[in-house]
Amino acid sequence: MVYCDFTQPSNGPNLQKFIGYEDVKSTTVNFYVQKDTPFSTVGTQIPFEVEVVNTGNAMDAATGIFTAPVKGTYFFTFTGHAHFQGGAFSVLETLSVNLYLNGNVIGTSLVGETHDLHNQPSPLALQSTLSLAAGDQVWIQIQSLTAGVTLYDDSNHLTHFNGCLLEQDFS
């Protein structure tokens, strides 16, 4: 909403002066979900076991799918923890995740390691700001991984996904 100051100087017509902008939302939407178990299934939405916040109930943690309840601009962030098994030979091990909007890839995060160490951990992250229509669906899924690599998690909740409605579009 734009606030205006209408003033009428003594010597002329009404003048309009813009004072500021206020973000107006009729719906509050935000979520924060976490994993607490490892996951390594390629080509399916990543499910989340822990629902910390789900204001607006737009996130289905069990399926990992967020469904936009209203048209607007949304911000999403994902952080994961890749677990590389390592071994006696220096081999490239990788984990790649994609952010999807209605089945189309919007962004990708890839982490890889070449090492001889066993049980090597590495973080990966992905953020995106998207204009969504009501009913659009957003999720994260593993695109690819090397044999033995997992999206690791435990009670420390190293993998999490969150999002929020930044600005509702009333047009």
Kindly report, residue by residue over 8-27, the tens digit of the pLDDT: 455 555 555 555 455 555 78
- Per-residue pLDDT, 9: 53
The secondary structure of residue 12, as a DSSP letter, is S
Prediction pTM value: 0.78
28 within 8 A of 35, measured Cβ to Cβ: no
149 within 8 A of 92, measured Cβ to Cβ: no
- Per-residue pLDDT, 5: 41
What is the per-residue pLDDT across 146-157, written as a single tens digit (0 to 9) for each? 767 777 778 888
Q: Which of 14-23, 94-103, 105-114 has the lowest mean pLDDT?
A: 14-23
74 within 8 A of 59, measured Cβ to Cβ: no
- Strands laid side by side in the 104-115 sheet: 59-60, 65-67, 137-145, 91-101, 104-115
1 pLDDT more than 50? no
Instruction: Give the position of tokens 């009729």.
Output: 26
108 pLDDT more than 90? no
Q: Thinking of the domain 27-168, which architecture would CATH place it in? A: Sandwich (2.60)
Domain boundary assignment for the chain = 27-168
The amino acid that residue 158 corresponds to is: L
What is the per-residue pLDDT across 47-74, written as a single tens digit (0 to 9) for each? 999 999 999 999 999 999 999 999 999 9
36 pLDDT more than 70? yes
29 within 8 A of 58, measured Cβ to Cβ: yes
Q: What are phi and psi of 89, to 5 degrees?
A: -115, 150
pLDDT top residue among 102 and 157: 102
Alpha-carbon distance 105 to 107, whole Å? 6
- Per-residue pLDDT, 138: 98
- Per-residue pLDDT, 96: 80
The secondary structure of residue 47, as a DSSP letter, is P
115: nearest Cα among 95, 138, 92: 92
Beta strands 65-67; 120-132: pairing state: unpaired
